[in-house]
Every structure is written in C-alpha cells, then in structure tokens.
Amino acid sequence: MLIKQVKSADTLTLRQQILLPNSDINACIFEGDDDKSTVHFAAIKAGAIVGILSIFQRSNSSISNKKGFQLRAMAVVAEERGKGLGLQLLSAAEKHAANNNADYIWANAKSDAAGFYRKANYQIDSEVFEIAPVGPHQKVIKHSNKSAG
C-alpha cells in the first residue's frame, strides 16, 4: 500500500461515496482545501485511491491558541477497513503536522470512530454533537511531544 500526497480534487470521489453519499460533489469541497498549508493524503492500491485523509493548519480556540492542525475527511473503502490503512494515513498526517511545528492535532470525529482515535492515543471529548447531514461527532485531540513537556 502506497501513502502519498495528492491534490484536493483527488479526494472528492471518496469523500462523496463514503462521507457524504447523499450530497452533491460540490458539498465535498471544503473551505481551505486548496490552501498552501493544507495537505491531502491518499492510500493507493493497484492504482486506485482506497483511503484519504486531509490535514489543515487550523487552530481550535476551545483547545488552545497555539499552532493546531485539523484532520478532516478520513475515509477508507469498506473492503480495506480493519487492515491498518487508517493508521497509516493518520501517521502520515501526524508526521506532516510535526514537521510543521504543530502543538496539537484535532478533529471532529464521527462518534463511531472514537475507538480508532483512542488506539492512536488521542484524547476523546465526551461531549457528542451533531454535524448535519453526517451524524454524531466528538472532538479528538492529540498534543505534540513538544507541548507535553
């Protein structure tokens, strides 16, 4: 499995198929997708994109005013789930954030993905909130080693 950086447009098909299946493809374009500080990762198998994750340089004032990076639009095709692909994508995004002096990484994760993030050493906020039309979410946070000390 190859993990590599791709253009935002390369993520749209999976975003629509997996994350926003009842939405127009234009709803899958996020503010900041094409910012210079935004990076999109794809997992490629046999020439096809089978997983995606985007990371945006974006702080969250409810966490900290320090330098934050937001994970968005993690998706893996059903037949590739449970094989460690999500962790590989997450690792690539975390390395990018570390290389850019992040103080923390955060995401509004689907509530049913909380266990995945917990295994990856993220703190899970117990408050559940709704993001329409996707469903219930929880904030997940991972502080960098540099801000832990």
User: Residue 148 has what pLDDT?
Assistant: 45
Q: pLDDT-derived band of residue 118, with 50, 70 and 90 as boundaries?
A: very high
Percentage above 70 pLDDT, the chain: 97
Look up residue 125 and give its two tokens.
Answer: 């906020």
The pTM assigned to this predicted structure is: 0.92
Q: Which fold has domain 2-148?
A: Aminopeptidase (3.40.630)
Q: SS3 helix, strand, coil % of the chain, rounded to 5?
A: 30, 35, 30
The burial of 30, by beta-carbon neighbours within 10 Å (0-12 exposed, 13-18 middle, 19 or more buried), is given as middle
User: Residue 22 has what pLDDT?
Assistant: 87
Q: Across residues 62-82, what is the average pLDDT? A: 93
Cα–Cα dist 54/125, whole Å: 21
Place of tokens 């998706």: 75
Amino acid in the structure at residue 73: A
According to DSSP, residue 60 is labeled B
Query: What dihedral do alpha carbons 88, 90, 94, 95 form, nearest 10°?
Result: 20
The helix/strand/coil state of 67 is coil
Q: Given the DSSP bridges, would you call strands 48-57 and 129-131 parallel, antiparallel or unpaired?
A: unpaired
Task: Compute the mean pLDDT over every residue in the chain, rounded to the nearest whole number.
Answer: 92
pLDDT tens column, 11-64: 999 999 999 898 899 999 999 999 999 999 999 999 999 999 999 999 998 888
pLDDT > 50? residue 143: yes
User: Of the candidates 97, 94, 53, 92, which has an alpha carbon nearest to the alpha carbon of residue 76?
Assistant: 53
